């Protein structure tokens, strides 16, 4: 076996058709460089998979690196609130924050991680649900190792670990426990026909919440009914459309709804009202996340520690905390969206 030749800054300069000094300036960000020149250099860096060596990093050791957070969308409150926690903690630590969005595209997420490695981010924080298949796990593990080799750290926030041996830190919350608790809240109020809205097979967040929903039903002796598990994306329009389809088939065959997040719940509430159904007098509903518009709707929901998730991710990345994986707690916020049907015994 032969050891692959290490790519040097001279190789990058040769590929880009510029001087070594120009490459150094582009990578260091210390001098103004024409956009066209910067593009040629960054393209050469990407094509050659170049990572600055330890000596080059040492030259800029007096400058803290950036903390990058990668989210689906900053327009979604769940992501925005965690990003806010990251930004506030990063600023407190004297670091600049970078926010990158993927639009839910796994390939784009992997590309962003690669780019952040090239840009020498001090830490990369990946947030939220993902389809964790073997291809994704393998590729992301490779990037975790590459980030570590470049002096960076990968933090998984609110998503499953990559597996043993992957140099990735993990901070999350009790997703399944929160779903179990809020379903049990409906069950203790006498509801037995509880529709779960937001089934997304393969997605880590949805799968965990469905698991909590099912375990609560089993604990109360209520048989699971696949017809009460309704697929929908995690947004308001999807909640509205899914509930419209359900109600178009006839009067509701459920007395309560557990929406996979508060945005889904908001869409479902709108649909229920347009069909002349009162919440909670005729249909009770709960959500998850405790983000706007939960308070405006008077929605009983599961509160997530968004700010602390973001802050803990930064502290883990910078070595301020030693425990990984970390699991933060959740709790139910009881408002006015659940009607009691009277006490009922398990299995009744």
Number of residues that this document lists for the chain = 348
Burial 161-174 (b: 16+ CB within 10 A, else e): ebeeebebbbbbbb
Note whether residue 1 is domain-resident: no
Note whether residue 104 is domain-resident: no
Return the higher-pLDDT residue of 30 and 213: 213
59-68, 264-273, 314-323 — most confident range? 264-273
For residue range 205-262, list pLDDT tens digits in order.
Answer: 999 999 999 999 999 999 999 999 999 999 999 999 999 999 999 999 999 999 999 9
- 313-337 average pLDDT score: 93
pTM: 0.80
Closest CA to 275 of 300, 299, 243, 253: 243
For residue range 187-202, list pLDDT tens digits in order.
Answer: 999 999 999 999 999 9
Closest CA to 123 of 52, 162, 70: 70
Domains identified in the chain, total number: 1
- How, if at all, do strands 301-303 and 331-333 pair? antiparallel
Closest CA to 99 of 86, 89, 118: 86
Distance CA 36, CA 94 (A): 31
Q: What is the CATH number of the domain that holds 239?
A: 3.40.50.2300
Question: Binning pLDDT at 50, 70 and 90, where does residue 348 land?
Answer: very low
For the chain, percent helix, then strand, then coil, each to nearest 5? 45, 15, 40
CB-side neighbour CA atoms (13 Å) of 49: 8
Return the higher-pLDDT residue of 200 and 344: 200
Note whether residue 131 is domain-resident: no
Note whether residue 171 is domain-resident: no
Note whether residue 88 is domain-resident: no
Distance CA 263, CA 269 (A): 10
Note whether residue 192 is domain-resident: yes
For residue range 278-303, list pLDDT tens digits in order.
Answer: 999 999 999 999 999 899 999 999 99
Q: What is the 3-state secondary structure (H, E, C) of 88-105?
A: HHHHHCCCCEEEEECCCC
Note whether residue 213 is domain-resident: yes
For residue range 92-137, list pLDDT tens digits in order.
Answer: 999 999 999 999 888 898 889 888 988 889 999 999 888 888 888 8
In which domain, by residue range, is 216 found? Answer: 176-305
Would you tell me the crossing angle of helices 77-92 and 306-317 to the nearest 10 degrees? Answer: 40
One-character DSSP codes across 270-320: HHHHHTT--TTTT-EEE-SB--TTHHHHT-BEEE--HHHHHHHHHHHHTTS
Distance CA 145, CA 231 (A): 36
Note whether residue 43 is domain-resident: no
Question: Binning pLDDT at 50, 70 and 90, where does residue 59 land?
Answer: very low
């Amino acid at each position: 076996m032969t050891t692959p030749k290490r790519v040097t800054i001279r190789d990058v300069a040769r590929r880009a058709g510029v001087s070594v000094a120009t490459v150094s300036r582009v990578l260091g960000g210390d001098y103004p460089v024409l956009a066209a020149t910067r593009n040629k250099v960054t393209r050469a860096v990407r094509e050659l998979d170049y990572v600055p060596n330890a000596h080059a990093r040492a030259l800029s050791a007096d400058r803290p690196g950036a903390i990058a957070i990668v989210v689906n969308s900053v327009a979604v409150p769940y992501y925005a609130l965690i990003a806010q926690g990251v930004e506030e903690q990063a600023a407190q630590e004297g670091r600049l924050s970078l926010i990158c969005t993927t639009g839910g595209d796994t390939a784009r997420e992997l590309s962003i991680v690669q780019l952040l490695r090239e840009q020498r981010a001090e830490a990369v924080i990946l947030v939220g649900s993902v389809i964790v298949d073997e291809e994704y796990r393998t590729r992301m593990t490779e990037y975790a190792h590459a980030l570590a080799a470049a002096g960076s750290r990968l933090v998984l926030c609110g998503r499953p670990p990559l597996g043993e041996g992957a140099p990735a830190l993990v901070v999350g919350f009790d997703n399944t426990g929160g779903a179990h608790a809020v379903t049990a809240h409906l069950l203790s109020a006498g509801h037995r026909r509880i529709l779960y809205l937001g089934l997304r097979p393969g997605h880590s967040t949805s799968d965990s919440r469905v698991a909590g929903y099912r375990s609560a039903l089993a604990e109360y002796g209520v048989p699971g009914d696949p017809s009460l598990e309704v697929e929908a994306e995690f947004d308001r329009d999807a909640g509205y459309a899914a509930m419209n389809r359900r109600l178009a088939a006839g009067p509701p065959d459920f007395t309560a709804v557990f929406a996979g997040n508060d945005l889904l719940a908001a869409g479902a509430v709108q649909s229920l009202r347009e069909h002349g159904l009162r919440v909670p007098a005729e249909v009770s509903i709960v959500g998850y996340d405790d983000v706007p518009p939960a308070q405006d709707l008077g929605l009983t929901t599961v509160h997530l520690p968004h700010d602390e998730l973001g802050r803990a991710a930064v502290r883990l990345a910078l070595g301020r905390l030693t425990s990984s994986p970390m699991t933060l707690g959740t709790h139910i916020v009881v408002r006015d969206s659940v009607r009691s049907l009277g006490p009922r015994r398990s299995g009744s």
